């Protein structure tokens, strides 16, 4: 067991991958000497050299496109997109090429590319640095999308993403990069399956589903609700595509109430998908409509008002109140 | 309100002086040509040596390939007109560019085509009937790219270009390891095709930047066929496309794309350059799409038939036939045999293509992910049950 931040855990996970898998390599903007703008790749260039830790030209489509070519040659590229809002130049390569290559080759080709994207707000940043574009990728068949919320998961999930034969988008909750936690580097324990949701807190009155940066917020909301006598179950979704509906459904069958929280806008978001699926699977077990807590239907606002935009403890508690009163 | 003082524009010169060397718009300028339209072989200080190495058998092979693929093109067009294909993308006019470059590649090289490289596919021994699967709605791919190192067609313009560079970066790493291990395996390069239209796509730019930065062993082969559907090359570029290579810092060569001997020579040179670790090369093959962009297109709406006629006068097959006959390298019997082989290929392709059966939707479910996926499994199970419901109803006599 070691205590480390989420950023350091990803760094150690990447180090383990580079050690264990000779075909793996990192590529991205400023990931070499600088160690990435968030220092997630700090020290890796020094230890693995420029053929394995590749400082790329400043071109996101080129990064993902060349990664696809490397994967076709048998490599395991791990790309870093510097910020969520800068992934869009690569959107064509990700959705029309990466996601479809296995399908269009009738399974003859695999493209095990991992795309790391720091995402989400809450760090007081400027435009295009605080977005949560996961739903845009979740809508694309062929991709897998996972997001850790703590250091232990981060350490294991990045390695599991690289081992997966399918392309994986690895969303890193940037405002939790500095969150410390215990990491067992010997044994993944419950983190052995990156596509499985985790019940982090058991409860009987309602369920909160969250992922990535909002997991600590959901846990804090559940703790606050407990003071008011409500027993709240909290699920860390971990995988956004596929979604572990079995775990969510089992929880809802027990609690009868469901809140889904994410930073991304609620409209057309992951919360809507979960609400629809759970309505189909457990309609008669629901005591209240599924309530979504998320961003507004607006571009991510300026930092000075992002507190009003972001889901927080109070917004989740308000949703819980509505659900429990229904 | 006070009056606004606007500055008087003062610009020295027209700016043309800064364009020197980049503005040669004349197609003939700096174009490598060995075999002229009249069938006579000229010389070139660099590339004549490559032409001299060609055995008569290879030259006859070039002709046979070009004739075969033209015949194939006619047959595929006919199949589309008869409703057997959803669409066809004809290559007629571009045979020399494709056969010359494809024949310059070696088995260990890897090819990234666009969607018109039927001639290159022939040189890589791809089953041409399999090539039609894409156009018949049977498959989005059709062949196993690893069998002949010939990648699937890419329909999103220029999207294959960064793949080609990444693949070349992989070759680079593999070769480093192989050399360290004392391997004598032949060195490899990547040959990536694109067109004058796609040259405007950002992916072409990014590919060239990446290739230059890492000295990737890749040859970018642009078939400038003069028309991106209905838009002429002049809208894509103000300077000859091969000149753009200079801006990236690697060699750019323009070659007569209807001269199979020159195309072969230039591509051989470029692939050797890349394999030897000297970095990328851009080749612009100056050619012409004699037919339509696809079978859904009507060139009479946007170009003059005089232009087409002019290019027919530069036909790649005719000039090689003239040369082979004049040099006594091929006789009537050879050309008769080539014709027969073309007809046999066309008959095979027709027979095989019309027999291609539609796949099962369950094959589609199976191809989405390489590893098991619960949502795909759930939807497939639902669909299976849904279909079974109809069968049960039928059995019950409803």
Partners of residue A109 in chain B, C-beta under 8 Å: 145-146, 152
How far is residue A105 from each of residues A76, B154, B341, B363, B374, measured CA to CA in Å? Answer: 19, 11, 30, 12, 21
Class of residue A255 by CB neighbours under 10 A (exposed 0-12, middle 13-18, buried 19+): buried
What's the mean pLDDT in A218-245? 98
Q: Could you tell me if A238 and A230 are in contact, meaning their C-beta atoms sit under 8 angstroms apart? A: no
pLDDT (0 to 100) of residue B8: 73
DSSP B113-127: --S--HHHHHHTT--
For residues B325 and B98, give the distance between their C-alpha atoms in angstroms, rounded to a whole number. Answer: 23
Q: B213 and chain A: CB distance < 8 Å anywhere?
A: yes
For the cut 70, the answer to whether the pLDDT of residue B22 exceeds it is no
Residue B82 pLDDT exceeds 80: yes
Q: Does pLDDT of B11 surpass 90?
A: no
User: Over 70: is that where the pLDDT of B21 sits?
Assistant: no
Q: What is the mean pLDDT of chain A?
A: 98
Q: Is A2-192 assigned to CATH 2.40.30.10? A: no
d(CA A105, CA B145): 8
Distance separating alpha carbons of residues A158 and A116, to the nearest angstrom? 9
Kindly give the pairing relationship between strand A232-236 and strand A206-210: parallel
Which of B110, B145, B209 is facing A109, going by the closest CB pair? B145
Residue B144: Cβ-neighbour burial (10 angstroms; 0-12, 13-18, 19+): middle
pLDDT at B259: 98
| Chain B residue closest in CA terms to A108 | B144
Cβ-based contacts of A53 with chain B (< 8 Å): none
For residue B365, the SS3 value is helix
Q: Compute φ and ψ for B33, nearest 5 degrees.
A: -140, 130
Residue B368 and residue A142: Cβ atoms within 8 Å?
yes
pLDDT at B1 over 70: no
Distance CA B123, CA B133 (A): 19
- Global pTM value: 0.96
Indicate whether B3 pLDDT > 70: no
Residue contact A69–B167, C-beta within 8 A: yes
Peptide bond into A242 cis (omega under 30): yes
A-B C-beta contacts closer than 8 Å: 142
Write the pLDDT tens digit of every residue in B351-373: 999 999 999 999 999 999 999 99
Asked if residues A55 and A79 have their Cβ atoms less than 8 Å apart, the reply is no
Query: B138 CA to chain A: closest CA distance, Å?
Result: 11
Q: Which residues of B touch A72 (CB under 8 A)?
A: 145, 151, 163, 166-167, 170
What is residue B35's predicted lDDT score, i.e. its pLDDT?
A: 97
Residues of A in contact with B380 (CB under 8 A): none
Please give the Cα distance from A177 to A174 (Å, whole number): 5
CA distance A13 to A189: 15
Search chain B and give the residue with CA nearest A90: B203
What's the CA gap between B99 and B84, in Å, rounded? 26
The C-alpha of A30 sits at a distance from chain B's nearest C-alpha, in angstroms, of 15
Nearest CA in chain B to A62: B206
CB A156 within 8 A of CB A188: yes
Q: Would an 8 Å CB–CB cutoff place B109 in contact with chain A?
A: no
Contact B174/B187 with Cβ under 8 angstroms? no
> Domain-by-domain residue ranges, chain A?
2-192, 198-325
In chain A, residues with a C-beta closer than 8 Å to the C-beta of B364 are 103
The verdict on a CB contact (< 8 Å) between B371 and A59 is no
The model's pLDDT over A170-191, given as tens digits with 9 standing for 90+, comes to 999 999 999 999 999 999 999 9
| pLDDT recorded at residue B17 | 73
Strand pairing class (B110-112; B190-195): parallel
pLDDT for residue B398: 67
Q: What is the DSSP string of A12-61?
A: HHHHHHHHH-TTEEEEETT-SSS--TT-TTTTHHHHH-TTTEEEPPS-HH
Under 8 Å between Cβ of B258 and B97 = yes
Predicted confidence at residue A97, as pLDDT, reads 98
| Residue B150 to chain A, least CA–CA distance (Å) | 12
Query: Closest to B206 (Cβ–Cβ): which among A59, A109, A141?
Result: A59
Residues of chain B with Cβ-Cβ distance to A274 below 8 Å are none
Rounded-to-integer distance, Cα B31 and Cα A41, Å: 47
A2-192 against A198-325: fold identical = yes
Which one of A73, A141, A243 has the shortest CB-CB distance to B170? A73
Are B166 and A68 inside 8 Å of each other by CB? yes
The stretch B218-229 carries a mean pLDDT of 96
Q: What are the helix (H) ranges across chain A?
A: 6-20, 44-48, 60-72, 91-92, 101-104, 134-138, 151-163, 215-227, 245-255, 270-282, 306-309, 313-325
Nearest C-alpha neighbor of B347 from the set B60, B78, B114, B58: B78
CATH number of A198-325: 3.40.50.920
Share of chain A above pLDDT 70, in %: 100
- Sheet of strand B190-195, all strands in order from the earlier edge strand to the far edge: B31-32, B252-256, B281-286, B218-224, B190-195, B110-112
Closest chain A residue to B171, measured at CA: A73
Q: Which residue of B has its CA nearest to A106?
A: B367
Rounded Cα distance, B301 and B297, in Å: 9
SS3 A172: strand
| B205-233: average pLDDT | 97
Dihedral (Cα; A80, A83, A85, A88), 10-degree rounding? -20
Is residue B166 within 8 angstroms of chain A, CB to CB?
A: yes
| DSSP assigned state of B85 | S
Nearest CB neighbour to B165, from listed A69, A110, A144: A69
Work out the angle between the directed axes of helices B56-81 and B95-104 (0-180°, nearest 10): 130
The pLDDT tens digits for A45-65 are 999 999 999 999 999 999 999
- Give, rounded to a whole angstrom, the gap between the first and last alpha carbons of chain B: 87
Contacts of B327 (CB under 8 A, 6+ apart): none
Q: Which pLDDT score is estimated for B263?
A: 98
Query: Chain-wide mean pLDDT for chain B?
Result: 94
* Residue A181 contacts residue A233 (beta carbons within 8 Å): no
Query: What's the rounded Cα separation, in Å, for the pair A280 and A119?
Result: 30
């Amino acid at each position: 067991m070691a205590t480390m931040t989420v950023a350091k855990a990803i760094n150690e996970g990447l180090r383990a991958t580079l050690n264990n898998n000779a075909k793996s390599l990192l590529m991205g903007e400023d990931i070499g000497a600088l160690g990435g703008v968030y220092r997630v790749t700090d020290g890796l260039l020094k230890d693995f050299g420029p053929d394995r830790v590749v400082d790329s030209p400043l071109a996101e489509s080129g990064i993902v496109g060349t990664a696809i070519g490397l994967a076709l040659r048998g490599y395991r590229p791990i790309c870093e997109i510097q910020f969520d809002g800068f992934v869009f130049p690569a959107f064509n390569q990700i959705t029309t090429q990466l996601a479809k290559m296995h399908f269009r080759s009738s399974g003859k080709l695999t493209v095990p590319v991992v795309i790391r994207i720091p995402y989400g707000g809450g760090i007081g940043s400027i435009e295009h640095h605080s977005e949560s574009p996961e739903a845009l990728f979740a809508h694309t068949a062929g991709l897998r999308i996972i997001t850790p919320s703590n250091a232990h998961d981060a350490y294991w999930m990045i390695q599991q993403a690289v081992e997966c034969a399918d392309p994986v988008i690895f969303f890193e909750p940037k405002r939790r990069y500095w969150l410390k936690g215990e990491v067992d580097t010997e044994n993944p324990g419950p983190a052995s399956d990156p596509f499985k949701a985790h019940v982090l807190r058991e409860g009987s009155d309602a369920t909160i589903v969250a992922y990535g940066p909002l997991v600590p917020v959901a846990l804090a909301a559940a703790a606050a609700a407990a003071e008011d006598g409500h027993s709240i179950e909290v699920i860390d979704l971990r995988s956004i595509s596929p979604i572990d509906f079995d775990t969510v459904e089992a929880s809802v069958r027990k609690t009868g109430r469901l809140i889904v929280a994410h930073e991304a806008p609620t409209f057309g978001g992951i919360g809507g998908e979960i609400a629809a699926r759970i309505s189909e699977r457990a309609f008669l077990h629901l005591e209240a409509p599924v309530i979504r807590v998320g961003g507004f239907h607006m571009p991510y606002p300026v930092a000075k008002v992002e507190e009003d935009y972001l889901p927080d403890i109070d917004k989740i508690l308000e949703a819980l109140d509505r659900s429990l009163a229904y | 309100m006070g009056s606004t003082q606007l500055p008087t524009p003062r610009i020295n010169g027209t700016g043309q002086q800064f364009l020197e060397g980049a503005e040669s718009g004349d197609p003939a300028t700096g174009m490598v040509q060995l075999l002229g339209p009249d069938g006579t072989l000229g010389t070139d200080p660099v590339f004549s040596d490559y032409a001299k190495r060609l055995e008569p058998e290879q030259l006859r092979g070039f002709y046979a390939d070009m004739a075969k693929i033209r015949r194939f093109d006619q047959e595929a067009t006919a199949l589309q007109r008869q409703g057997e294909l959803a669409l066809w993308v004809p290559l007629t006019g571009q045979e020399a560019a494709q056969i010359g470059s494809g024949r310059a590649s070696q088995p260990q090289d890897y090819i990234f085509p666009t969607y018109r490289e039927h001639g290159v596919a022939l040189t890589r021994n791809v089953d041409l009937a399999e090539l039609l699967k894409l156009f018949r709605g049977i498959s989005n791919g059709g062949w196993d790219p690893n069998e002949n190192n010939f990648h699937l067609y890419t329909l999103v313009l220029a999207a294959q270009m960064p793949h080609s560079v990444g693949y070349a970066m992989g070759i680079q790493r593999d070769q480093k390891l192989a050399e360290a291990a004392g391997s004598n395996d032949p060195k490899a390069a990547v040959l990536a095709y694109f067109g004058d239209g796609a040259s405007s796509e950002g992916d072409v730019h990014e590919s060239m930047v990446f290739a230059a930065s890492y000295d990737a062993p890749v040859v970018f082969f642009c078939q400038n066929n003069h028309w991106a559907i209905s838009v002429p090359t002049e809208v894509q570029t103000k300077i000859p496309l091969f000149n753009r290579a200079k801006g990236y810092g690697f060699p750019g060569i323009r070659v007569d794309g209807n001269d199979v001997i020159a195309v072969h020579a230039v591509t051989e040179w470029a692939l050797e350059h890349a394999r030897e670790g000297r970095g990328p090369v851009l080749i612009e093959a100056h050619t012409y799409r004699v037919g339509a962009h696809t079978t859904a297109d009507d060139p009479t709406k946007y170009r003059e038939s005089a232009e087409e006629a002019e290019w027919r006068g530069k036909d790649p097959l005719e000039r090689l036939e003239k040369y082979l006959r004049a040099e006594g390298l091929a006789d009537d019997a050879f050309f008769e045999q080539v014709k027969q082989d073309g007809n046999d290929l066309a008959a095979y392709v027709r027979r095989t293509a019309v027999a291609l059966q539609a796949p099962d939707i369950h094959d589609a479910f199976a191809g989405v992910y390489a590893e098991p996926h619960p949502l795909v499994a759930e939807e497939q199970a639902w669909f299976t049950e849904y279909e079974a419901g109809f069968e049960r109803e039928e059995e019950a006599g409803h």
